[in-house]
Structure 1
Amino acid sequence: METQRITEFPHKNMDKRPRKRPRLTWDMPPPLPPPKVVPGMYCSQEFVSNYPYSSLFYKGVTRNGSPPWRPDDKDGHYIFAIGENLTPRYRIISKMGEGTFGQVLECFDNDKKEVVAIKIVRSIHKYREAAMIEIDVLQKLARHDVGGTRCVQIRNWFDYRNHICIVFEKLGPSLYDFLRKNSYRSFPIDLVRELGRQLLESVAFMHDLRLIHTDLKPENILLVSSDYIKVPDYKFLSRTIKDGSYFKNLPKSSAIKLIDFGSTTFEHQDHNYVVSTRHYRAPEVILGLGWNYPCDLWSVGCILIELCSGEALFQTHENLEHLAMMERVLGPLPQHMVLRADRRAEKYFRRGARLDWPEGATSRESMRAVWKLPRLQNLVMQHVDHSAGDLIDLLQGLLRYDPAERLKAREALRHPFFTRDARRCGYPL
């Protein structure tokens, strides 16, 4: 795998996205019923051309072939219609979501008689290159993930009308979607423990294979099942609230899987470009010190806090403000890291030593955003009723500034936060 392919695919616009943006998972209408399948109409192929189409059944959509050729939109996204075919094998049921890479569609697999999720990558060279790297990673993960319990399973892939299409098993909503649907109300600590354990097991699995995910976040952690239950939200029971919002949803199953390996990196590749979505980005990345496996563990720490509190810890889009937030929550940055910061990061410090804050703040709003943050211990204790001490200690290990001192995934799994309650089965509702 060439390093150049990876370096052409940093998340250039990730910081400009709104944090609480609309998503498409639970809000979609009920799926269409599976189509009637005519046996023998599709021969499994990896690469699909523009199949001839026959009689129409839905607004110009073909019964057994691909739809008529359409140009992509101005950004290179595939244009589709609900109910039509994506190759004769896959029928489109609904749109599940989209991102900078392209779109994800819910489809019915006529061969396997199952519902799948298909990632349709934009017809732009750098995204196609990244998709081919992701396929390599997914296939490597699938060879080693016995039982397929840690990472989303790839079913198939093909190149269709200049779009790389990756077929996945259909999973439930992301943890971000689940939080959003609950108005960003937090998860119970025992559920956070189960989610954190699985997340660290998946990260340890990847690191054992010499792979670094580099983009861990709640959006990229999916519940295996969409089933959920309503339970009383005791924080709201004492108030008079309309629309039943004194109840919140909890997943019936805590099983999760990692997704989105489009920016996953092999250990031997270049590690000097910017990685991770802003809110989960480690300090060594911001300071230009290079990065490795520990950047994933910093992201895990940020995710655990978000699951406990319901909100991202570092809600910022600017480097200086981000570093100031870190110091507010975790204390001052180590001098040896500050002194080694690259030229782009030197401007964030006064006389090369102290962070240029609040003097360098861009606005009073920015200053307020930093000053309102509590210390890590206080933040956890605001939201966690028991196990707070163990969780604080775990987070202090995951959020150590120096990546060399940060907990490794398997070390974190041996932490008392997980081992002290090892006899628990599931989580109380």
Structure 2
Amino acid sequence: MALLQSKDDCYDVIAVQGKGTFGEVVKAWKRGTGEMVAIKMLKNDFLRSRIIKNEIKLLKAIRAVDPEESHFIHFIEYFHDEAKFYLVFELLQQNLFEYQKKNGFAPVPVRHIRTITAQVLGALSKLKELSIIHADLKPENIMLIDQAKYPFKIKVIDFGSASMFNQVRYVKEPYIQSRFYRAPEILLGLPFCEKVDMWSLGCIIAELQLGCPLYPGNSEYDQIRYICDTQGMPKSHALCAASKSLLFFNRKIDSNKENQWRIKTLEEYQLETNVKPLEKRKFILKSLDQIESVNVPKSYYSDVEGLVEYDDLKNMVELIKRMLTLDSHERITPNAALKHTFISLQQLKLNYEHTKYYQLAQQCQYDGTRKADGYHYRTSSGSHHRLPSPNYYQDEAVKDTNDMAEIQRCIKQMENLHIAEPDKVVNLKPWSDGTYHPELAGYQDHAYLRASTRQNDYLHLEQRRNPVASQFGNYWTSKHSKVPLHSKSDASFSNPVGRNRDDATKCGDEERRIINSLDLSTQKFNTGEDHAPYKKPEAFTVEVLEPSVCPID
């Protein structure tokens, strides 16, 4: 059993939680306070040193705000030796992927998806204020605090791929975001901003509803192909501006001297790259609207409560569509999403205030905002960062006060943000300032967010028409369904911090026995022992079979 010693405290390593390419996460006992913590141990080599120092810099900036209200993991301290860096965090229970796996990848109820979504949006809103792009949002990086005590209360973790807005200029060919959650602008080689995180969140919401990834591409070509099958082709001017378009698309100039684009066929791509495209989707959707008809129980059509939940599902799909717009300039922002009717519950309150489902939805919303007891967080005395209050949706503006000097400096530097491209440098301004750039003509006069045109005319319940679900390989109606296996193609280090269902500040019987047997005298620093490598589930081929229903209440 290893002993790790920082400047101010000692940590006894209890168990290894997981391993990745660049390091591992261990569960440890903090002698100074008697608390259980998670320690992220990263290799201190030349290539990783700069990345680790950048992560520590961002964690310090995030630590200045209340981690409870902003839904970030609490960063305690860091230390290092010649071999490794050690980042100490609060110990959390399990990530969303582990939760889904434990429940057989059954769809998560819509009211619980809202609870998770609202908290992640709050975190993304705070990151935008801090001028930070997370750039690796996925189920593995969204942690459940304690599912027994605080249902679906979450925190965002792993800022190893994060960067400041003003540092985007140095990224020439970005390889960020896990493939399943990678935004089109990254896939195509377009200028990008913090809205790549909104795309990732939209994919996560859809995955929680479907029980499997929306776009589980085995390669970037498969990823682009899946997106185009469901959402259509990107705009022509975007493909003309993108640096990687010709890897996935063929271009032809018509008689009017206009560019005509089409995605390469499977045979064309395989012939050019010698890489065979694969089909790994469980649901092949022709539009995002079809999410409304997947995994929908028949009870939705037979009673009032079911119809209320189905309306809630449609509102959720509306928000997913706003998050998954191919043009990032039209993609919804975190603050606007927090005011969306799916998050605010305004529509349900107006039409179904006296239903049981609305009362449950309100309770779930309260569970997501309830403060967790246990760990005492210390924040800067001059910082007052808060998530929206219960009256947030009635207020037209919520102002943040006492912004940090570092934030202001970064925001000012955004005026000079640009993206390096082959043979030239484009001075890109992520927000419209009236400046015309011929290199990116299609991105100058972009459409700002507009109010949804969807009409909220609600008919009497007896006048509703039942949606058709069976034609999409319905999870509930198929006679040959089975809960699919799940896989993640990317094997990158996902910081799987976890803990048992017991309180984080207490040790179980086995842990207490281990701790009592430790020699608490000062020992020579030890970086740990060899352990079996952590492996993610193997890749799979999806097959639609009969599932055993696993409801999540």
Match of 1:405 in 2: 330
Q: CA deviation at 1:227?
A: 3.2
Question: 1:226 & 1:424 partners in 2: Cα distance?
Answer: 18
Q: What residue is the counterpart of 1:425 in the other structure?
A: 363
The percent identity for this pair of structures is 27
The residue identity in structure 2 corresponding to 1:373 is I
> What is the one-letter code of the residue matched to 2:74?
Q
Give me the TM-score of the superposition, normalised by structure 1. 0.71
* Offset from partner CA, 1:41-68 (integer Å, 9 cap, x none): xxxxxxxxxxxxxxxxxxxxxxxxxxxx
Counterpart contact for 2:221–2:277, Cα < 8 Å: no
Give the direction of change, closer, same or farther, for the CA distance of 1:303–1:370 in structure 2 (3 Å limit): closer
Distance 1:218 1:373, change over 3 A: same
- Aligned match of 1:357: 265
- TM-aligned CA deviation for residue 347 of structure 1: 2.7
After the TM superposition, which parts of structure 1 deviate over 6 Å for at least 4 consecutive aligned residues? none
CA distance in 2, matches of 1:383, 1:173: 25
Matched to 2:290, the amino acid is: N
Give the structure 1 partner of residue 319 of structure 2: 394
| Aligned pairs for 1:157-306 within 5 A | 157-225=78-146, 227=148, 253-269=151-167, 270=169, 271-272=171-172, 273-306=174-207
User: What secondary structure, in the 3-state scheme, does the structure 2 residue paired with 1:279 have?
Assistant: helix
What's the offset of the Cα at 1:311? 0.9
Counterpart residue identity of residue 184, structure 2: P
Does 1:321 pair with 2:222?
yes
More helix by share: 2
- Compute the displacement of 1:340 (Å): 1.3
Whether the aligned pair in 1 keeps the contact of 2:67 and 2:73 (CA below 8 Å) is: no
Report the TM-score when normalising by structure 2: 0.55
Per-residue CA deviations over 1:135-183 (Å, capped at 9, x if unaligned) read 1111111102364551001111101342110000011100011111222
After TM superposition, list the pairs within 5 Å mapping 1:34-183 onto structure 2. Answer: 83-87=1-5, 89-145=10-66, 147=68, 149-183=70-104
Question: Aligned letter for 1:357?
Answer: T
Q: How does 1:358-373 map to 2 (within 5 A)?
A: 358-362=266-270, 366=277, 368-369=279-280, 373=284
**Counterpart residue type for residue 84 of structure 1:** A
Equivalent of residue 376 in structure 1, options 278, 283, 288: 288
- Check the 8 A contact 1:358/1:367 in 2, yes or no: no
Distance 1:98 1:402, change over 3 A: same
Unaligned runs of 5+ in 2: 253-260, 297-308, 350-360, 366-551
Q: Which has the higher contact order (CA 8 A, sep 6+)?
A: 2
CA RMSD of aligned residues (A): 2.3
Query: C-alpha deviations, 1:213-232, integer Å up to 9, x for none?
Result: 0000000000111538xxxx
> How many residues get paired?
323
- The answer for unaligned runs of 5 or more in structure 1 is 1-82, 229-251
The Cα shift of 1:372 comes to 5.3
CA contact (8 A) 1:171 1:226 kept: no
Note closer, same or farther for the CA distance 1:380–1:357 as it changes in structure 2 (3 Å cut).
Answer: farther
Equivalents in 2 of 1:86, 1:162: separation in Å? 13
Post-superposition Cα deviations, 1:254-297, rounded to whole Å, max 9, x if no partner, equal 11000000111100012441210101000011111121111110
Letter in 2 for 1:355: I
Q: Tell me the SS of whatever aligns to 1:119.
A: strand
Contact 1:381–1:388 under 8 Å retained in 2: no
| 414-423 or 165-174, which deviates more | 414-423
